Amino acid sequence: MEQWNLETSEPFAVMGTVVHSHHSKSINILQNHVIIVHDGKIQHIGMAPSLQELKEVHNISERQIIQLSPSQFIMPGLIDTHIHAPQYPNAGLGYDKTLLEWLETYTFPLEKQYGDLVHAQNVYKHVVRHSLNSGTTTACYFATIHLESSLLLVDLMTELGQRGFVGKVNMNTCQNKGYNEKTEQSVTDTEIFIKNVLQRKNQLVQPIITPRFALSCDSILMKKLGELAKKYNVHIQTHISENLGEIEAVKEIFPDSKHYADVYDKAELLTKKTVLAHGVWLKDEEIKLLVSRGSSVSHCPCSNTNLQSGLCNVRRLLEAGVKVGLGTDVSGGHTPSILDVMHSALDTSIHVFFQHKNIIPLTYHEVFYLATLGGAEALALENEVGNLMPGKQFDALIVDMSSHYLLNSEPETLVQKFVYCGDDRNIISVFVGGKIVKKTKI
Ligand SMILES: O=c1[nH]c(=O)c2nc[nH]c2[nH]1
């Protein structure tokens, strides 16, 4: 590929190998194709035409063409369905404890600091930049309970060009060791947060209602948040069934609920726009409930391993019809790279197979889907992003595998190598809504 220098405000084209998914089972590999981008959206995908045809039919000059080399391909941007931006400084630290102790010892003390806007600005700039550089074009962030710094995160995503969601976290119970808010304040600040984000008329970032988990919120707060979600028709995110101690505590605190998922359902927090992180220990009955509500699970295998939460059987969720995406879950997860999470999802799936021989481990094709279209479906964004079909936003990565020792440059080889051996150095360009947000000189 020659170094290109596009004007992204004008139509442009990418020519070469396109890799994307239409469903969970297999990747579509399209060689010698063109994608034409207009106003940040995909206008056309098809067999590559001649330069003359590009110019005459599609009005694209030679300067506006990216010609991929045989060791490169273009794919949809990665989607991180669960990440805690304020926990970024703790990534890689504190894995000597399991979830509930880890929250009290490491996480809540760090999150308390986000009343300080200078600290928030520093951390949030780093995490959004790192996430974009790792190829995440859409990220679904938890912020903290602080209204102002949560809005700051929205503004930084907008400035740096990342699509996604930000949730001001809700926590009103004493389980939170002094990191909490009063119910009324929590509801009022959440409504102010939603209105502020919606008023920004921001194409990229949306508000998401974020009750931390059932142990951090009482049922009064959760019901009020369910009402807000309905009033503003916004997304919802929380955690579910991550750790056995957590599940026991939920059972004790909510004796009238049939199970963990029922706690959220009673507050009308399970909707088609709800994403639930972890779901390692969900019962069959809970899975059925999620399917009937259209709620999704964010699979966070790095975090599930680091915090010794358990092995999530993703095959079981997919077969039951649950929508599943991947989440880095920084800082339970040690990396903001969804590509790293893809490796971990493959490993975890084989470890599940060691335990239950009757399941088929996930394939790299399926993991590619989970990281792209699966993530988009989990966030109810499949009409906007997730693959490279006409009408969708041009959220895409150019991947270059020339730094690896390749016996051939068959697209299957490139993609498989990328999924198993790739890292962010192989992601040489990142586009969000047709704008370049990462470009590496090669
Ligand atoms: O992995 C997790 N990270 C968190 O911050 C959290 N809060 C509740 N449950 C959680 N799980």
Select from 95, 111, 212, 260 the residue to mutate for testing ligand 1; criterion: most ligand atoms less than 8 Å from CB. Answer: 212
Confidence (pLDDT) at 274: 99
Confidence (pLDDT) at 441: 76
Neighbours of 178 (CB within 10 A): 9
Residues with CB under 6 A from ligand 1: 84, 99, 103, 107, 212-213, 239, 242, 303, 329, 332
Mean of pLDDT values over 400-416: 94
Q: Of all atoms in ligand 1, which is nearest to the CA of residue 246?
A: 9
Task: Please write the tens of the pLDDT for every residue from 30-77.
Answer: 999 999 999 999 999 999 999 899 999 999 999 999 999 999 999 999
Whether pLDDT at 130 is above 60: yes
* Ligand 1 geometric centre to CA of 239 (Å): 7
* Ligand 1 geometric centre to CA of 198 (Å): 26
Alpha-carbon distances, residue 174 vs 102, 165, 181 (angstroms): 16, 27, 10
Whether pLDDT at 442 is above 90: no
Whether pLDDT at 423 is above 60: yes
289 contacts 245 by C-beta, under 8 angstroms: no
Question: Taking the mean position of all CA atoms in its chain, how far away is CA 407?
Answer: 33
Confidence (pLDDT) at 2: 52
Instruction: Pick the residue whose CA is nearest to atom 2 on ligand 1.
Output: 332
- Per DSSP, which regions of 119-272 are E strands? 136-142, 163-167, 169-170, 205-211, 235-240
* Ligand 1 geometric centre to CA of 307 (Å): 10
Q: Render 257-308 in DSSP notation, one character per residue.
A: SSSHHHHHHHTT--STTEEEEE-TT--HHHHHHHHHHT-EEEE-HHHHHHTT
At residue 79, the 3 state secondary structure works out as strand
Select from 107, 173, 241, 300 the residue to mutate for testing ligand 1; criterion: most ligand atoms less than 8 Å from CB. Answer: 107
Confidence (pLDDT) at 193: 98
ipTM of the complex: 0.98
* Ligand 1 geometric centre to CA of 203 (Å): 28
For the whole model, what pTM was predicted? 0.98
Instruction: Read off the pLDDT band of 337 (50, 70, 90).
Output: very high
> Strand pairing partners for 399?
73, 427
Taking Cα atoms as reference points, which of 440, 145, 99, 441 lies closest to residue 281? 99
Taking Cα atoms as reference points, which of 51, 34, 32, 52 lies closest to residue 43? 34
